[in-house]
């Protein structure tokens, strides 16, 4: 007698108090390897500062594979008068590329308080460049991001082409806070990073 031991889909068992039936869950995820990370803090007037850093080991990033970074941070404005037109610039920087700015939403009224949010970035190796996508930017539910004429999939070229993947690569997500609101900070609370693999070294849901 034989039995089938591998399934692409598995149905969840409903909770005793659950209403209705649970859906099917796919186990057909890309294989991913967790890589080292580091969080930091950017301060007003301090220039572009790495708040999230991922460290790609040498000889590990294959062609057309995804580097997936996600994390949470808090934006804090201390006690002080409101500042109109405050504009925080986000950048991507690596040890083999120049700094590339993300699309900026524009200035806003900065007021005393603490705000937190979640971010996700995807980096795809497409020689001779790396393509970067901001999940929140790309997944708006409208046509071509309201046709706003911004590049939501950004090319990150190497400073001295081509990228050398035989060397370790550090990728930083940097924040540049204007000094017009003294004491303002962006602090990384948590992050993790995964690199898509060609072999089954683990799964991520």
pLDDT in tens, 68-78: 999 999 999 99
Predicted pLDDT at 32: 85
Residue 14 to residues 10, 28, 165, 205: CA-CA distances in angstroms?
12, 22, 46, 19
pLDDT, tens only, 35-60? 999 999 999 999 999 999 999 999 99
Residue pair 120/136 in contact (Cβ under 8 Å)? The answer is yes
The residue that leads in pLDDT, 180 or 197, is 180
pLDDT, tens only, 115-158? 999 999 999 999 999 999 887 666 665 555 566 667 778 999 99
Residues 91-115 as b or e (16 or more Cβ within 10 Å = b):
bbbbebbeebebeeeeeeebeeeee
Distance CA 49, CA 174 (A): 5
Domains and CATH numbers, the chain: 31-196 (2.60.120)
């Amino acid at each position: 007698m034989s039995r089938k031991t591998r399934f692409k889909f598995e149905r969840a068992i409903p909770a005793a108090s659950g209403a209705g039936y649970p859906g099917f869950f796919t186990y057909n995820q890309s294989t991913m390897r967790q890589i080292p990370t580091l969080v930091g803090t950017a301060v007003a007037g301090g220039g572009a500062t790495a708040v999230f850093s991922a460290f790609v080991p040498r000889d590990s990033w294959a062609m057309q594979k995804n580097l997936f970074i996600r994390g949470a941070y808090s934006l804090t404005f201390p006690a002080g008068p409101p500042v109109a037109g405050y504009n925080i610039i986000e950048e991507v920087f690596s040890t083999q590329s120049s700094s590339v700015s993300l699309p900026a939403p524009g200035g806003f009224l900065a007021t005393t308080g603490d705000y937190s949010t979640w971010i996700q970035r995807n980096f795809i190796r497409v020689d001779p460049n790396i393509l970067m996508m901001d999940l929140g930017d790309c997944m708006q539910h409208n046509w071509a991001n309201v046709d706003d004429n911004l590049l939501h999939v950004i090319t990150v070229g190497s400073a001295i082409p081509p990228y050398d993947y035989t060397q370790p690569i550090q990728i930083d997500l940097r924040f540049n806070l204007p000094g017009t609101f003294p004491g303002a900070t962006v602090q990384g609370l948590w992050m993790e990073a995964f690199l898509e693999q060609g072999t089954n070294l683990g799964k991520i849901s």
